[in-house]
Amino acid sequence: MASSEVAPKVLGEVEAVLPSERPRDIAPPEVEKGAECSKEVWPLWKLTLLALPQVGVQVMWCFLGPNSAPYMKHLGASNSLATLNNTAGPVVGFITGPLVGAWSDRSTNRWGRRRPIIVGGLVSTIVAGFFWSASTLLLPEGSAIWLSAPMYWVLDVTINVLQTPFRALVSDCASDSQQLPMQVVFVFMMAIGNFVGYSMMQIYTEPTAHMFELMMMICGINVVCVGIQSLVAKEKQHVQSTADDSKRSCCGPVMSSFGSVKGQPKVFYVLIAVQCLIWFEINSWNGYGQQWFTSSVYEGDQQAPQGSEAQIHFAEGVAAFATAGQLRSGVQLVLSLSIMALLLYTTIPHRFLYAPMLYVGAAISFLASFAVQHSGAFAMFCMVVSMVPEAATFAIPYGLVAIWNKSAEEQGRPASTAMQMALLNCCITVGQQLNTLVLALLETSLDLSHSLIVMFVIAGVAAAIAGTGALFLKDVEDSKEKSQDVGVDGEASEAQDIEADGEVVKVREVDVGTVSV
């Protein structure tokens, strides 16, 4: 996942720039912000070490995304079933992140709110990763898939447990003036993680045949990152305030995500649709780009005999995809920082930045469908440029939400910044899920190569519609809409409940990443 920024006038009011798992509860009024970490002012280099696990988690998501379905095929699954197993990510991410976030916020463990859950998530991820990747070593040939398929769902849960609290830990320890520099740090961390993840695909010519070795390497990277964070972090035991009512259910964040859909401004519904559509297109590259390279572009066959022409072409496709991914990581860094600068230091309306970037995604998907054919160099170009809409979607929509809610606060109307940003994250999983289900349906009647081509056509159409919808996302809501949509009594009381019960006054980074992302 990449960075998101808010407009200059809103930056001081809204703390988040990266999309995050969940809103962050602030400390009770009598406790200074960040006191649970330490009363000292943390230097940026220490905060950077606290954020280091972002590298490890990003490596894991970057590697798992394009390799999970090929690994299921390696174990004997059909194209359609291998793709369907990828529904684990969106489903698990939608539910687990808010639950773990609420659990972390309310934890009174003597070692702190964040670190025990992070360490527990790391240990469980190592265990789940072991059984997922070592199934061929533990079970006879033909039976391994019965262990790996369900363990992939467990692995998705454990990674979400690992990643959710460490962003909150950084936010707890950083002062207000350090929030923006730390978002730049997160951008670098994510780019580095993606680069390492793509690089690991080049260690072996056929990564799926060496999944156990690669997975253990990735787990080792996460152990080092979390170990450094644990040595640097200092947490005090959290003491719940009177507002932290023990009667609150941990399922509240998930249920409130559903309930908060009603009563939002009309323009926000347009933004929701845009997010769902563009993440359909983005997931086409992140989740199935490698299969497009190996099957459609290089005409390789994962299951061809070793040393055959089809198997060699398959290995060439994996290598080309990994190289394009490395280049894509550099483009991600440059684009993310450029978008930050444009949002901070220019007055260009958000929609005039967002829409062209989404149209780029549409153009690239259409090129992948009709123009690339079997050109490896052209395919790598499309893969690299496909980062444009992804970098935009992690930044601009969250800035729009911040502006809209800042405007609402100034006019004395209830704001729901945290809830709207949480809903945007849900839209990421919706787009990913739709993309996976559409591809699985196509694979029931078409071979993999043609299914991917059709999928990119649909992705191009989705991105084009999203770009057109983005043109209607005004930085300032229409006055008629303000009084009509946001002044709903139920929504106002919900916003008040959120402030009184959860003490949410700021929004911190929100994860994807990945949602899985």
The pLDDT score that the predictor gives to residue 110 is 67
Closest to 164 (Cα-Cα) out of 113, 235, 228, 233:
113
397 pLDDT band (50/70/90 cuts)? Answer: confident
The pLDDT score that the predictor gives to residue 251 is 58
pLDDT tens for 453-478 read 999 999 999 999 999 999 999 876 54
The structure's pTM equals 0.77
C-alpha 315/C-alpha 358 separation (Å) is 31
The pLDDT score that the predictor gives to residue 88 is 81
User: How many other CB atoms sit within 10 Å of the CB of residue 410?
Assistant: 10
User: Percentage of the chain with pLDDT > 90?
Assistant: 43
99 pLDDT band (50/70/90 cuts)? Answer: confident
Is-contact 72 208, C-beta < 8 A?
no
165-174, 254-263, 443-452: which has the highest mean pLDDT? 443-452
DSSP string, 258-323: HHTTTT--HHHHHHHHHHHHHHHHHHHHHHHHHHIIIIIIS---TTSPTTSHHHHHHHHHHHHHHH
Is residue 79 pLDDT above 70, yes or no? Answer: yes
Averaged pLDDT, 120-140: 92
Is residue 12 pLDDT above 50, yes or no? Answer: no
Query: In degrees rounded to 5, what are phi and psi of residue 20?
Result: -120, 170
Q: Which of 132-141, 409-418, 438-447, 493-502 is least confident?
A: 493-502
291 pLDDT band (50/70/90 cuts)? Answer: very high
Is-contact 5 340, C-beta < 8 A?
yes
End-to-end CA separation in angstroms for the chain: 7
The pLDDT score that the predictor gives to residue 116 is 82
Is residue 496 pLDDT above 60, yes or no? Answer: no
In a domain, 12, yes or no: yes
Domain with 452 in it: what CATH number? 1.20.1250.20
The pLDDT score that the predictor gives to residue 481 is 46
The pLDDT score that the predictor gives to residue 14 is 37
In a domain, 227, yes or no: yes
The pLDDT score that the predictor gives to residue 261 is 57
In a domain, 185, yes or no: yes
**Average pLDDT along the chain:** 78
C-alpha 2/C-alpha 332 separation (Å) is 8
Closest to 106 (Cα-Cα) out of 95, 96, 117:
117
Higher-pLDDT residue of 366 and 482 is 366
Query: In degrees rounded to 5, what are phi and psi of residue 78?
Result: -75, 165
Per the structure, the complete domain to which residue 311 belongs is given by 8-236+251-516
Is residue 93 pLDDT above 70, yes or no? Answer: yes
258 pLDDT band (50/70/90 cuts)? Answer: low
Q: Cα 103 to the chain's mean position, in Å?
A: 20
23-27, 161-165, 238-242, 320-324: which has the highest mean pLDDT? 320-324
In a domain, 172, yes or no: yes
The pLDDT score that the predictor gives to residue 426 is 78
Averaged pLDDT, 24-47: 54
User: Hey, what are 476's tokens?
Assistant: 């300032």
Q: Which of 291-295, 417-421, 450-454 is least confident?
A: 417-421
> For the CA atoms of the chain, what is the radius of gyration?
22
Is-contact 321 289, C-beta < 8 A?
yes
pLDDT tens for 39-74 read 567 788 888 888 899 899 999 999 999 999 999 999
The pLDDT score that the predictor gives to residue 357 is 96
The pLDDT score that the predictor gives to residue 464 is 97
pLDDT tens for 167-203 read 777 777 777 677 667 777 888 888 999 999 999 999 9
Higher-pLDDT residue of 215 and 99 is 215
In a domain, 246, yes or no: no
In a domain, 245, yes or no: no
In a domain, 241, yes or no: no
User: How many other CB atoms sit within 10 Å of the CB of residue 377?
Assistant: 9
pLDDT tens for 349-381 read 889 999 999 999 999 999 999 999 999 999 999
User: Percentage of the chain with pLDDT > 70?
Assistant: 73
The 3-state DSSP class for residue 515 equals strand
Higher-pLDDT residue of 480 and 85 is 85
Is-contact 515 428, C-beta < 8 A?
yes
In a domain, 110, yes or no: yes
The pLDDT score that the predictor gives to residue 502 is 39
The pLDDT score that the predictor gives to residue 477 is 56
Closest to 510 (Cα-Cα) out of 314, 288, 253:
253
Q: Work out whether the CA dihedral 144, 147, 149, 152 comes out positive or negative.
A: negative
DSSP string, 41-67: PPPHHHHHHHTTHHHHHHHHHHHHHHH
The 3-state DSSP class for residue 192 equals helix
Is residue 262 pLDDT above 70, yes or no? Answer: no
Tokens 């695909």 identify what position?
A: 201
C-alpha 171/C-alpha 178 separation (Å) is 9
Q: How many domains does the chain have?
A: 1
The pLDDT score that the predictor gives to residue 232 is 83
